[in-house]
Chain A
Amino acid sequence: MVGVPKLALAIVTGLISLSLVPAVRVSAQGATFSNIAQGRYLVTAGDCASCHTAKKGKSFAGGRAIDTPFGILYSTNLTPDTETGIGQWSEQDFYNAMHTGIRRDGKHLYPAFPYPWFSKLTRNDVDAIKTFLDTLAPVKQQNKPPKLPWPLSWREAMIGWNTLYFTAGSFEADPEKSTQWNRGAYLVEGPGHCGLCHTPKNFLGAVNTDHKLAGGNAGEYWYAPSLTGDLRDGVGAWSDVEIVEYLKTGSNNNTATAGPMTEVVKNSTQYLSEADLEAIAIYLKDSPQKSVASQINTGDLGAPALARGEALYIDNCSGCHMYDGGGIARVFPPLKASAAIQAKSADTVIHVVLTGARMATTPVKPTGLAMPAFGAKLDDQQMVDVVNYIRHAWGNRAPLISAGNVADGRKKIAQSGAL
């Protein structure tokens, strides 16, 4: 859709919502228990709570700072408060926001809110979500304006962006694939919005659809690894069962969550049904497996650097990750043959070594095993040596990092900690 029709639609929807009785909370029609339950499930699948809840804030009341390359945006209040939340929004208002990225007052939303993905949800699903949101306790919390430089601060700039990069449209099932595959595709490409992090983005923040789910920037110096079938840095070597286990419990034999994915498991995927998790696994696995030797130029580490890195690894890491990089099954993740370790970008690896990590806690795996922070113990050169080592030892291959990456990481992590 392009400029004028959208504007017209916005005006029309605005008129419609004005014609409804204002100043009282608009409740969805037909708010049956099953609708609410369906909505709650979808909200869980979409992990709305993670972005729409500030650290130590009230659930769904917004206010969380979302770090983007363009500036900081703050999530909005989704509670039914009539003044500061979406209490006055009708089902249509809400659908417009989810489907076309246009909010009740007709202004454009920024795609930090993943409407390009939520656009795929069916009308019925979006209505159910609104029905559920209407049941939340209203919280009075004013939305904060984003900190974006001009011209990005002018919302209508999104019209151009949408023209280039966004096509609204519900999910269309592929008739040649199974019902399960289609369900998985709907979840991944719709409410799951996995590609927002896991697909590379261009300089304008739009995903590169040629490299769907091939890994991307997840913000705050986290890299979301590739979910393609690559055997080295994707999920090609994972079985369906392992993907399900990972999403349900936060870890499997190959790896454990770190950073934003820990929240995703804790708040979202651990609650999905077994059938839905299997569907996601089937969809993700249906991508060609590439050979182990990837085309990425990994660079040659050289013997002295390898030796330095090995010494650091033995002295600092072998107590948990063992000498052979194999870790301990389901306790300390293996580094050897790890897709996460061999990811194209080393941001997550650097982040975890600098600040440590704690596994997701779920009822099945309550322990929350943790790795300590090494940022104070290792200087930048030592970080370079040990990170390059683990990405090149035991048959691993991945692009080399430099001291600049580490310094960059320290800076960005410190900044995001202050958010």
Chain B
Amino acid sequence: MGCQGRGMKARNEAVSPVFFSEPELRFVEAATERLIPDEEDGLGAKGAAVAVFIDRQLAGPYGLAETWYMQGPWQHGTPEQGYQLKLTPAQVYRAAIRNVDSHCRQTYANKSFAELAPADQDNILHRLEKGDAELADVPAKVFFDMLWQNTVEGFLADPMYGGNRGFAGWELIGFPGPRYNYINEIEQYGKPYTRPTVGLLGRDGTKVRGG
């Protein structure tokens, strides 16, 4: 009641991170840009502000694993037994970014991941994905899977969470956003759906939920 417009800020470019430090943010920006490149259409992780999304998520209940069972004892399990680390997603990111950047500085003449050439960045991401790289504090594959999952979320979630800015992700694939009535359209087989894209905060894809 009476919240009209309050808490819905229009996006500005320089958004300070709430969870990541500046170097961490640069890492995540660089990594997500390789995972979903902007290319010419600008419809990639950078254009969609995926790093902003991940930053906000890690500062919230997801990052803190608030709903997860985090009691011990802690043991390695089989792949079928799922996630068994003591680390919350926020801790996973922190540890992994530290480890990867450390590895990069050692291997690439003191450059951080964000400073590498794209081909080198891709190389590292591939190795993390396969589990070829060994990170000191967290299994590489767990980190990569988490990063990729969050990148897809940041690309395709409602823009009110900070990502999918301007509906970049939805425009790429042709998803018109959450609409509640397709009674007239569902039987129009083969016909493209032409209503403008909409999000939960309306047709302005730069509106982010405040706070």
Contacts and interface: CB of A to CB of B under 8 A. Distances in A.
B3 A375 contact: yes
Q: Interface size bucket, A side?
A: 20 to 34
A22 to B, nearest CB: 50
B2 A410 contact: yes
Given A319-B180, A323-B184, A314 B2 contact: no
A355 B1 contact: yes
B1 A311 contact: no
Interface residues of B, number: 17
B113 to A, nearest CB: 40
Contacts of B181: 318-319, 322-323
Contacts of A377: 201
B1 A315 contact: no
Nearest to B198: A315
Interface in B1-28: 1-5, 8
Contacts of B180: 318-320
Interface in B181-210: 181, 183-184, 195-196, 198, 201-203
B76 interface: no
Contact of A410 (B4, B179, B195, B196): B4
A376 interface: yes
Q: Which of A314, A380, A414 has the most CB of B within 10 A?
A: A314
Given A314-B195, A315-B198, A322-B181, A413 B4 contact: no
A78 interface: no
Contact of A315 (B2, B4, B8, B179): B179
B1 A373 contact: yes
Q: Which of A379, A380, A417 has the most CB of B within 10 A?
A: A379
Given A315-B179, A322-B181, A414 B202 contact: no
Contacts of B198: 315
Interface string B12-53: 000000000000000000000000000000000000000000
B1 A354 contact: yes
Contacts of B8: 379
Nearest to B200: A377
Contacts of A322: 181, 183
Interface in A380-419: 380, 382-383, 410, 413-414, 417
B2 A414 contact: yes
A378 interface: yes
A375 B4 contact: yes
Given A376-B4, A413-B1, 13 more contacts: A315-B179, A315-B198, A315-B202, A318-B180, A319-B181, A354-B1, A355-B1, A376-B3, A377-B201, A379-B8, A380-B4, A410-B2, A414-B1
The 7 A-B pairs at the shortest CB distance, nearest first, are namely A319-B180, A379-B5, A379-B4, A376-B3, A318-B181, A410-B2, A375-B1
